[in-house]
Structure 1
Amino acid sequence: MVALGEDGMAQSTSHLALPRRGFLIGASGLMLAGQAAVAAPRAWREHHRPKGDGASPTDWSQLAKALRNGQLLRPDDPDFHAIVQPNNLRYDDVLPQGVARCGSAADVAAAIAWAREHHVPLVTRGGGHSYAGYSTTRGLMLETSLMSRAAYDPARGVLRVGAGARNRDLYRLLGQHGRAMTHGRCPSVGAAGFLLGGGIGFNMRAHGLGGDQVLGSEIVLSDARLRRASPKAQDKLDRDLHWASQGGGGGNFGVTTSFDLQTFDVRGQRVTVFDLKWARDPDTPCKVPVERLGAQLMAALDAAPPSLGSRVSFEAVKAAELDNGFDVNISVLGQYAGPRAELDAILAPVVALCPPNAGRGIQEFHYWPAQAFLHEDGDTTWYQERSAFVTRAFGEDDLGAALQYLRAKPPVSGYCDLRFFQTGGAVNTPGARDTAFVHRDSRWLMVVGLYWDQNDQEDARRMARAHAWQDAFYARMRPLAGGGAYQNFTDPSLADYRQAYYGLNLERLADIKRHADPADLFRFPQSI
């Protein structure tokens, strides 16, 4: 077991813990999810309602003193609202009573113990990109951005990173050393949530998921003890916690405070990046049916070597736009670890049918400049996404079924689409039971996406129509996909979410949960 020193950092001594006290905790960790209703679901609202008598001003002062390496923010403090704003603005009105900005694992343990003593619900906030608002609360927010310290060990090629690090922190350090890992494109996404739920990115077909590159981690459990999880730990629970950290999702077992990550060399590597679009408008010369062109594109990408990673999007259009000569646009974004000539050969069958007529084109860069081309800001907005893994080839008939919905976009101002993140390759190398991430037989991760703005949000009737469209679309496409759902895109409307996220690993995860958190203190509407 790992102990906490006076500075809150881990030390290799035996047993040290803060006082054990019964306490109530909400959804802890960095969860990514989708919602199916305009308002927050009732179960979510009830879960985040303050419980007990709450804490007095004196109690909050005690917490502030206990955070030796961090700070406490209350609603009147200048930085409070900037810190608590979530990426999904559907939950912007859910404000905590206080924010414990934790600078160490000792601060995390102190915040957990305080919330337990005063019966204040607790959630963890990393990057704030929880699709379902699981990193917002009306109790205590445990905010981890101060725990963003990272260090690289060149002898082993291992990156140790604090759980509060964002993607941008990883980019900066990895770029300095000519190293990489499987990472996302949005710089503000938190590393912990990304890794604990699996971690998809354009490198995953060649190098596996981000979670597959986790060598070990440190986690504070409900007994306020810090444990070192690794595959060769002496204690079985620590070995189990490592297994669960690779796809078991955030917030189920405790609060993870750091990770050791295996990296790979990208010094001197040339990467071909591409952003291509087949825009369908009255002036487009392409007469190939949308479903045929889309199927050809997906088949060409599916047959490509694992050094290619891509995302394909079919953009929904409104019925009135169809009448004016517009149709479903197809776009593809991605990278190929090789020269442009080889990428051109991969895409040749698609280009022969119909050349792309929009997008930023194809360019070659060294690895990290290439990531700047692929960069996505991830600005705050209103959204919901629903996912399913595709376990077989997706052909014209499958895409034809989607056109009924793609050609009837709901009356919202935001982007609506059917999206496919390319999986396969090294994602499927481990067995389904080798890590907690069970989805090891897929070719694509499919998403039915719905985005909207504030004017839409304030129109209940309009949003009801939009969600009905998304639900019907998803119900039509999910059986065609054949696989489960992605636990980092958690979807509260899934009645079978445990099976969809964890499949045949659910029983083992539940057993680990019973041992790591016997009182079920770390819980939220979709916890294990």
Structure 2
Amino acid sequence: MTVDRRSFLAALGGGGVAVLAGAGPAAALVDAWPGRAPATNRMPPDWAKLRKRLGSRLVLPGDPGYAVHRLGYNELNDGHRPAAVARCASAADVQACLDIARGHGIPIAARSGGHSYLGYSVPNGGLVIDLRLMAHVEVGRDGIAFVGPGARLIEVYAALARAGRLLPGGSCPTVGISGLTLGGGIGVLTRKYGLTCDRLAAARVVTADCSLRTASPGSEDALYWALRGGGGGNFGVVSQFAFRTAPAPALTVFSLSFPRGSAAEVIGAWQNWIAHAPFELWASCQVSGGNPPTARLVGCYVGGPTAANRLLDQLVAAARVRPSSRSVQPKTYLGAMMYMAGCSKDTVANCHLVTEGGRLPRESFVAVSRMLGPRPLDAGRVAALMTGRTGVDLLLDALGGAVSQLAPRETAFPHRSSLASAQVYASATRSGQQAATRTVDAIRDGLARLGATGAYVNYIDAGLPDWGHAYYGQNLERLKQVAQHYDPDHVFAFPQSVARA
């Protein structure tokens, strides 16, 4: 599609969600959805009318490809059966979808990468506005990158690397740029370059009334504020992003494994070390449950291996535990992103885990989150939470640095003073889902008792207590006002939409 640079540049001169809406549990019927948009017409949407516009890009049950296009990334949500999947190629397509489907009382969700933990981007009985065809990435000489909402991270990174630029973002290669940005965007270059949403210069948004708006400084200010961390699905469907990129420097990646029984020492040393580290350093402390738990470190440094090794030596000395393995490697920007993605080779093809229109190598898991406060947690008690819990990982991803340079109210992302995010992750089959959920919930609640009370909306959690304040903190009320203004009829309602908090 043609990128409308002129209108975007005009907006800039004036001053996904993957997951943009949601579905309930797999067994839920459409009428069981709390907070659904009121149905002014109880008849189904006129899919035949939408078919005239989209042709085969409208995929209905029974159509070729429906079995693939209806699926999200998490296999536990495979019971969701949308009424339609509309593969949009333009903002006008999105407008047509909303014009035909709103007011019929069905859930409407946009999908970029499809990584919604709870399957909110594939609403049961609803309309999926699939944005994958809108995956363009264009980088201007001024460093502004125009990115389609369906672009996956590996596509964004590869295009930026060709232009010698970077954008801070996550490590999973098939996550969609939309969901990542709208929820904040924690990633491996966060401490140096900020969250992904901090780099958002402007966005084109189709709102619930089918209007196409430009949100930027000086244009739709409240919407622009809300899009930077207010979560997908609450305010409209982004049809294009503009990001301020940075020059791509040489990077160093590293990984350290520590012997069994040293998790408490590593967690304690890591928290103090990362709190005082230079902005150029990012690291994730990863604890695997067991008897006893084990700890490892992976990270990225903006600079060369010599300086990175000096910093790692400080951590090892503080932990007083010699790592059982240690790897420190210089990388290009794209090479570092490939390494963090776990790709076997430094080629983009190896990071495309999802084959369009074919098999979907996916995952089956449950996961929850907390946000650490500004002060370290009791490392011994954190390790105790993981003792005996084989098959569960606790991922502590560093914040601070550039993230902390903005005030909590400056964007919708409120966790500016957090030391790190904490994700609790467990692989789970459908038969073992309830047991796995109880385990990750117990660890989540244990972290809250230790002082980690916030949560990250991009790790959306059906059982999270007081989820509105956990995700959005002091920004919740303002977000509710923005959602009410742009979607007064709750067209994009889902179980954890801002309007329902």
Give yes or no for TM over 0.5: yes
Q: Aligned residue for 1:450?
A: 426
Q: Aligned residue for 1:22?
A: none
Q: Aligned residue for 2:399?
A: 423
Within the candidate set 489, 494, 501, 2:459 is matched to 489
**How far apart are the structure 1 equivalents of 2:259 and 2:495?**
41
RMSD: 2.9
Within the alignment, does 1:392 sit opposite 2:364 as a pair? no
Structure 2 vs 1, CA of residues 483 and 441 (structure 1 numbering), >3 Å: closer, same or farther?
farther
Within the alignment, does 1:301 sit opposite 2:301 as a pair? no
Deviates more, 1:503-512 or 1:195-204: 503-512
TM-superposed deviation, 1:480: 2.0
TM-superposed deviation, 1:298: 3.1
**How far apart are the structure 1 equivalents of 2:29 and 2:63?**
30
Tell me the amino acid that sits aligned with residue 44 of structure 2.
Answer: A
1:37-56 paired onto structure 2 within 5 Å = 40=26, 46-47=32-33, 55=44
Within the alignment, does 1:523 sit opposite 2:496 as a pair? no
Q: Deviations over 1:417-473 (max 9, x none)?
A: 222000001101111111111111111111222222x3xx225xxx43332222222
**How far apart are the structure 2 equivalents of 1:117 and 1:393?**
48
Q: Deviations over 1:204-244 (max 9, x none)?
A: 111110000001101111111100111112xxxx1111011
Tell me the amino acid that sits aligned with residue 306 of structure 2.
Answer: A
**How far apart are the structure 1 equivalents of 2:368 and 2:279?**
26
Larger radius of gyration: 1
Within the candidate set 328, 333, 343, 2:308 is matched to 343
Within the candidate set 132, 147, 153, 2:134 is matched to 147
Q: Aligned residue for 2:337?
A: 371
TM-superposed deviation, 1:367: 2.2
Structure 2 vs 1, CA of residues 425 and 77 (structure 1 numbering), >3 Å: closer, same or farther?
same
TM-superposed deviation, 1:117: 5.6
Q: Aligned residue for 1:31?
A: 19
**How far apart are the structure 2 equivalents of 1:314 and 1:31?**
28
TM-superposed deviation, 1:94: 0.7
Structure 2 vs 1, CA of residues 469 and 33 (structure 1 numbering), >3 Å: closer, same or farther?
farther
Q: What TM-score, normalized to structure 1?
A: 0.82
TM-superposed deviation, 1:110: 0.3
Structure 2 vs 1, CA of residues 294 and 120 (structure 1 numbering), >3 Å: closer, same or farther?
closer
Which consecutive unaligned segments of at least 5 residues does structure 1 have?
Answer: 1-5, 14-27, 281-287
**How far apart are the structure 2 equivalents of 1:41 and 1:473?**
27
Q: Aligned residue for 2:170?
A: 184
**How far apart are the structure 2 equivalents of 1:119 and 1:92?**
22
TM-superposed deviation, 1:178: 0.6
Within the alignment, does 1:356 sit opposite 2:323 as a pair? yes
Tell me the amino acid that sits aligned with residue 445 of structure 2.
Answer: A
Q: Alignment length, in residue pairs?
A: 469
Q: Aligned residue for 2:217?
A: 231
Within the candidate set 165, 172, 194, 2:151 is matched to 165
TM-superposed deviation, 1:32: 9.3
Q: Aligned residue for 1:277?
A: 257
Within the candidate set 43, 50, 75, 1:63 is matched to 50
Within the candidate set 322, 333, 340, 2:298 is matched to 333
Within the candidate set 391, 404, 426, 2:384 is matched to 404
Q: Please state whether the residue corresponding to 1:78 is helix, strand or coil.
A: coil
**How far apart are the structure 2 equivalents of 1:212 and 1:245?**
10
Moved over 4 A (4+): 6-13, 32-35, 39-45, 48-54
Structure 2 vs 1, CA of residues 177 and 400 (structure 1 numbering), >3 Å: closer, same or farther?
same
Tell me the amino acid that sits aligned with residue 400 of structure 1.
Answer: G
Q: Deviations over 1:42-81 (max 9, x none)?
A: 699922999875538xx3221111238x821123333222
**How far apart are the structure 2 equivalents of 1:178 and 1:240?**
33
Q: Please state whether the residue corresponding to 2:145 is helix, strand or coil.
A: strand
Q: Aligned residue for 2:471?
A: 501
Q: Deviations over 1:127-149 (max 9, x none)?
A: 00001110112222110011112
Structure 2 vs 1, CA of residues 222 and 10 (structure 1 numbering), >3 Å: closer, same or farther?
farther
Q: Please state whether the residue corresponding to 2:454 is helix, strand or coil.
A: coil
Within the candidate set 439, 446, 451, 1:469 is matched to 439
Structure 2 vs 1, CA of residues 304 and 34 (structure 1 numbering), >3 Å: closer, same or farther?
farther
**How far apart are the structure 2 equivalents of 1:289 and 1:367?**
32
Contact 1:29 1:250 in 2 (8 A): yes
- The percent of aligned pairs where both chains have the same amino acid is 33
Structure 2 vs 1, CA of residues 117 and 480 (structure 1 numbering), >3 Å: closer, same or farther?
closer
Q: Please state whether the residue corresponding to 2:450 is helix, strand or coil.
A: helix
Contact 1:29 1:256 in 2 (8 A): no
Structure 2 vs 1, CA of residues 174 and 8 (structure 1 numbering), >3 Å: closer, same or farther?
closer
TM-superposed deviation, 1:355: 2.4
Contact 1:9 1:105 in 2 (8 A): no
